[in-house]
């Protein structure tokens, strides 16, 4: 595990983009699962402005680690956020963008997306192996859309499950722990002081930290990187 701490969320985004660019140069064709949330939005803006002509987007295949069960035009849609902040600015083949169809019946979509992963992401054993899974962490310790009140979803034998947001009741499609921990690299992007207490519990392995799904991210590859700003990292020892 590697922890990288930066002055600001903008610096987190800049450094993560350098890491991503180097990974793409090293691996050639890459399969990446994207996260929703506010920190990735800054990353996408940086990629769209500084890396539009530097990254060979035809070699990049994009998926989502989770999606809200809403239409792709909905303000809540992770796909819509990615389209507005990245996809509309780069020349990436449509066939390389594998969105979760939030507008479909959730259980059916979870099954469909699992088959999309099996058909498109290179298999390692019987699991799709992403080159990179990008994750955020909620201040409740959730990651992707596995929330503490449904932590059992993490160990589902299915690649994807239907989750429910604990406050809004919104349904979501989420990747589960097996495929996330199969990835060649996992990168957490965590910023903001509202994450600092949870990060301390998880990174300092305090108390019942395994109640938080983010604590269960442990890629078999060992390549787990935390990109943090100082605000989020303010309480870790």
Q: Give the interface with ligand 6PG as residue ranges (CB under 6 A).
A: 35-39, 66, 78, 136-138, 142-145
Report DSSP letters for 155-212, one per residue. G-SSSEEEEE-TTT--EEEEE-HHHHTTSSEEEEEE-SGGGHHHHHHHHTT-SSGGGS
Whether the CB-CB separation of 135 and 187 falls below 8 Å is answered with: yes
**Measured distance CA(77)–CA(74) in Å, rounded:** 5
Question: From the CB of 138, what's the least distance to ligand 6PG, in Å?
Answer: 4
Dig out the tokens for 161 from the structure.
Answer: 């499950």
Q: How many CA atoms lie within 13 A of 183 on its CB side?
A: 31
Dig out the tokens for 49 from the structure.
Answer: 């402005």
Buried b (16+ CB within 10 A) or exposed e, 206-225: eeebeebbbbbbebeeebbb
Question: From the CB of 146, what's the least distance to ligand 6PG, in Å?
Answer: 9
Question: From the CB of 62, what's the least distance to ligand 6PG, in Å?
Answer: 14
Cβ proximity to ligand 6PG, 143 vs 176, nearer residue: 143
Dig out the tokens for 186 from the structure.
Answer: 């996992």
Question: From the CB of 144, what's the least distance to ligand 6PG, in Å?
Answer: 6
Residue number of the CB atom closest to ligand 6PG:
136
Cβ proximity to ligand 6PG, 111 vs 165, nearer residue: 165
Cβ proximity to ligand 6PG, 78 vs 150, nearer residue: 78
Cβ proximity to ligand 6PG, 77 vs 129, nearer residue: 77
Question: From the CB of 112, what's the least distance to ligand 6PG, in Å?
Answer: 19
Cβ proximity to ligand 6PG, 31 vs 68, nearer residue: 68
Residues 6+ apart with CB under 8 A from 161: 110, 146, 153, 173, 174, 176
Cβ proximity to ligand 6PG, 78 vs 129, nearer residue: 78
Question: From the CB of 82, what's the least distance to ligand 6PG, in Å?
Answer: 11
Whether the CB-CB separation of 178 and 169 falls below 8 Å is answered with: no
Runs of H (alpha helix) within 28-63: 38-50
């Amino acid at each position: 595990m590697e922890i990288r701490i930066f002055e600001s969320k903008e610096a987190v985004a800049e450094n993560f983009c350098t890491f991503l660019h180097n990974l793409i140069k090293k691996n050639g064709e890459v399969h990446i699962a994207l996260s929703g949330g506010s920190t990735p939005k800054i990353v996408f803006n940086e990629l769209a402005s500084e890396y539009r002509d530097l990254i060979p987007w035809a070699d990049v295949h994009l998926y989502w680690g989770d999606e809200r069960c809403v239409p792709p035009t909905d303000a809540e849609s992770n796909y819509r956020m990615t389209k507005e902040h990245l996809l509309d600015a780069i020349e990436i083949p449509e066939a390389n963008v594998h969105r979760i169809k939030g507008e479909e019946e959730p259980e059916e979509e979870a099954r469909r997306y699992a088959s999309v992963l099996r058909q498109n992401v290179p298999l390692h054993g019987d699991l799709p192996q992403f080159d990179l899974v990008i994750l955020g962490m909620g201040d409740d310790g959730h990651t992707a859309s596995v929330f503490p009140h449904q932590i059992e979803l993490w160990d589902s034998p299915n690649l994807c499950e239907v989750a429910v947001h604990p406050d809004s009741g919104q349904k979501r499609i989420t990747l589960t722990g097996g495929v996330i921990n199969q990835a060649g690299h996992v990168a957490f992007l965590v910023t903001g002081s509202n994450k600092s207490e949870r990060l301390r519990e998880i990174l300092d392995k305090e108390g019942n930290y395994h109640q938080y799904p983010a604590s269960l991210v442990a890629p078999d590859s060992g390549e787990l990187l935390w990109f943090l700003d100082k605000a989020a990292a303010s309480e870790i020892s």
